[in-house]
Amino acid sequence: MAVDQNLKIELGKQGIFVTTIEELYNWGRRSSVWPMQFGLACCAIEMIATTMARYDLARFGAEVFRPSPRQADLMIVSGTVTKKMAPQVVRLYNQMAEPRYVIAMGACAISGGPFKQGYNVLKGIDRYIPVDVHIPGCPPRPEALIQAFMTLQKKIDGQPLTGEGRPRHLDAEAQGEFPVPEQGEHDLEPTSNKGVWPVPITIR
Amino acid sequence: MKTVEEIKAAIEAAVPGAGVEFVSNPSASAQHSLRIAPQSAVAVAKFLRDDADLAFDFLSNVTGVDWPDKEIAEKVKVMRWVTKTVDGPDGQKVDQPVEETVEETRKRIESGCLEVVYHLYSVGKKHGPLVLRMRTVNRTDQVDLPSLTPVWRSAELQEREVFDLYGVVFGGHPDLRRLLMWDGFKDHPMRRDYVEPDDFEYEPTPHDEVLKRAQERENREQRTEGPRDRGLAAG
């Protein structure tokens, strides 16, 4: 239940702070999103630049990159996901504790990019795990990653704690583990997780 | 540096029965190369490395070439006996066998092979590159070649890559595993007849090759799943 904004401001002038549990809870969550420390290709260099003094991702509460998936809230898939690496990325995502979010950074991570018609690159990590924010670019500028981060914060802020659209850790029914693809004789098996990524139909 | 012909002569003098073949390059670069016989490859490589004048101490690059089976159509002139009706000596028509030259088109299949190319330089003598080539017998079962890793250590990873992408099996390689693809992978992606997995959604406005593949895929899906609602994502 949201508090009327005008009333909130009026009360604030009187020295009374009014909030809801949901607002407070989400404020805490969005202000300390800790990304996981792993990079896959050149996009990772931009990700590192984003965390350094000039762009300073720490302003958004993401100052610590955690080297363990158990302590991370956000997976930034920064770079080309090869078919050899894809099972490990999905496994790392499975090992992260809820609530967890994914930013797919750069052309390769969202679609395969320039390697889309090749044989060894996964055509988008969203084939296997749910992605919250996609950023195009090759590689995206640090500003684009900050934009993605702010978009994610807005998403976290807007998540109700009950009912439809609540975060997965408050939803007992939600799917927690995503199947790790097997490396088959010719390709990954299965080639995508149909529950996460419905095969698009081309309309001609 | 000696010319490639001179190097060939030097190899033949040092390694008896080396089986070195000169491969000329008619283009402007004129970068000729030597094709060496697999059975004497290691001896030739050791000579090239250890010879005082040549001293090729640096192997810069190993790569592969796939030569697929080629169907060659040739026109051959064949002599044949043909029965023709000719005028006989006494004004009668007589059948007489006549020899005639006929052009026939014959097709034969030249079996392909896999080729490995090595680029050598000498850091000490500041010369190079010398291009060495080796060919396998065919592309299917006799794909063994000797490894040059014992001679030049830098061949190790590159020969693994050639093994992975072309399927050349290097005998004597200390650690022959796939390099880029995973161990259970069965194909060799850089071969000309490799068919890549059909795992991408096609462009909205495909043309040429992509259009053909998109249509094939559509037909296949309709056969297996029946027509789907167009415009709706399949669940």
Confidence grade of residue A202 (pLDDT, cut at 50, 70, 90) = low
Residue pLDDT, tens place only, A78-126: 999 999 999 999 999 999 998 899 999 999 999 888 988 888 899 999 9
d(CA A57, CA B31): 53
Q: In B, which residues are within 8 Å of A84 by CB distance?
A: 180-182
pLDDT at B155 over 50: yes
Across the interface, of A116, A117, A198, the residue whose CB is closest to B235 is: A198
Alpha helices in B75-198 (DSSP H): 155-166
Across the interface, whether the CB atoms of B204 and A184 are under 8 A apart is answered: no
Question: Quick one: average pLDDT of A183-187?
Answer: 89
Residue pLDDT, tens place only, B55-85: 999 999 999 999 998 888 888 888 888 887 7
pLDDT (0 to 100) of residue B227: 53
pLDDT (0 to 100) of residue B96: 78
Confidence grade of residue B230 (pLDDT, cut at 50, 70, 90) = very low
Q: In A, which residues are within 8 Å of B199 by CB distance?
A: 123, 187, 191-192
d(CA A65, CA A116): 30
Residue pLDDT, tens place only, B82-106: 887 777 777 777 777 888 888 888 8
Taking chain A, what is the end-to-end CA distance rounded to the nearest angstrom? 46
Q: In B, which residues are within 8 Å of A183 by CB distance?
A: 182, 184-185
B202 CB within 8 Å of a chain A CB: yes
CA distance B163 to chain A (A): 16
DSSP state for residue B91 in the 8-state scheme = S
Where do we find the tokens 């040092």? B14
From 3.30.460.80, 3.30.2320.20, 1.10.3720.10, 3.40.50.300, which CATH number describes the B4-67+114-171 domain? 3.30.460.80
User: What is the H or E stretch that residue B166 is in?
Assistant: helix B155-166
Question: Quick one: average pLDDT of B126-138?
Answer: 90
Residue pLDDT, tens place only, B194-226: 888 887 777 778 888 888 888 887 787 777 765
Q: In A, which residues are within 8 Å of B212 by CB distance?
A: none
Residue pLDDT, tens place only, B164-174: 999 999 999 99
Confidence grade of residue A1 (pLDDT, cut at 50, 70, 90) = low
Q: In A, which residues are within 8 Å of B187 by CB distance?
A: 185-186
Residue in B183, B191, B201 to test binding to A, most A beta-carbons within 10 Å: B201
Ranges of each domain in chain B:
4-67+114-171, 70-109, 196-235
Across the interface, whether the CB atoms of B199 and A200 are under 8 A apart is answered: no
The mean pLDDT value of chain A amounts to 89
Residue A69 tokens, joined: 């998936």
Question: Quick one: average pLDDT of A144-154?
Answer: 94
Phi, psi of B105 (to 5 degrees): -95, 120
pLDDT at B229 over 50: no
pLDDT (0 to 100) of residue A149: 94
B167: left (phi over 0), alpha (psi -120 to 50) or beta: left
Residue in A185, A193, A202 to test binding to B, most B beta-carbons within 10 Å: A202
Q: Three-class SS of residue A202?
A: coil
Question: Quick one: average pLDDT of A144-148?
Answer: 94
Q: Is it true that the peptide bond before A139 is cis, omega within 30 degrees of 0?
A: yes
d(CA B42, CA B15): 10
User: What is the H or E stretch that residue B224 is in?
Assistant: helix B208-225
pLDDT (0 to 100) of residue B206: 80
Which residues of A have a CB under 8 Å from any CB of B? Answer: 83-84, 112, 116-120, 123, 183-187, 191-192, 194, 198-204
pLDDT (0 to 100) of residue B1: 77
Q: Which residue of A has its CA nearest to B199?
A: A191
Q: Which residue of A has its CA nearest to B206?
A: A204
B226 CB within 8 Å of a chain A CB: no
B211 CB within 8 Å of a chain A CB: no
Nearest to B157 by CA among B130, B171, B176: B176
Residue in B165, B178, B181, B185 to test binding to A, most A beta-carbons within 10 Å: B185
pLDDT (0 to 100) of residue B74: 83
Across the interface, whether the CB atoms of A198 and B233 are under 8 A apart is answered: yes
Across the interface, whether the CB atoms of A120 and B181 are under 8 A apart is answered: yes
Across the interface, whether the CB atoms of A199 and B204 are under 8 A apart is answered: no
Helices then strands, counting H and E runs in chain A, come out as: 6, 5
Contacts for B212 with CB less than 8 Å, ≥ 6 apart: none
Across the interface, whether the CB atoms of B196 and A119 are under 8 A apart is answered: yes
d(CA A113, CA A109): 7
Q: Which range in A18-27, A128-137, B94-103 is most confidently predicted, on average pLDDT? A: A128-137
Angle, in degrees to the nearest 10, between helices A21-30 and A142-157: 160
Provide the sign of the torsion angle of the four alpha carbons B153, B157, B160, B166, taken in this order. Answer: negative
Higher pLDDT, A145 or B98: A145
Higher pLDDT, B233 or A158: A158
CA distance A175 to chain B (A): 16
pLDDT (0 to 100) of residue A43: 92
d(CA A11, CA A8): 5
Phi, psi of B24 (to 5 degrees): -85, 150
pLDDT at B232 over 50: no
Across the interface, whether the CB atoms of B228 and A201 are under 8 A apart is answered: yes
pLDDT at B183 over 60: yes
Report the predicted TM-score, pTM, of the whole model to 2 decimal places: 0.81
Residue in A88, A186, A187 to test binding to B, most B beta-carbons within 10 Å: A186
Q: In A, which residues are within 8 Å of B201 by CB distance?
A: 199-200, 202
Higher pLDDT, B129 or B229: B129
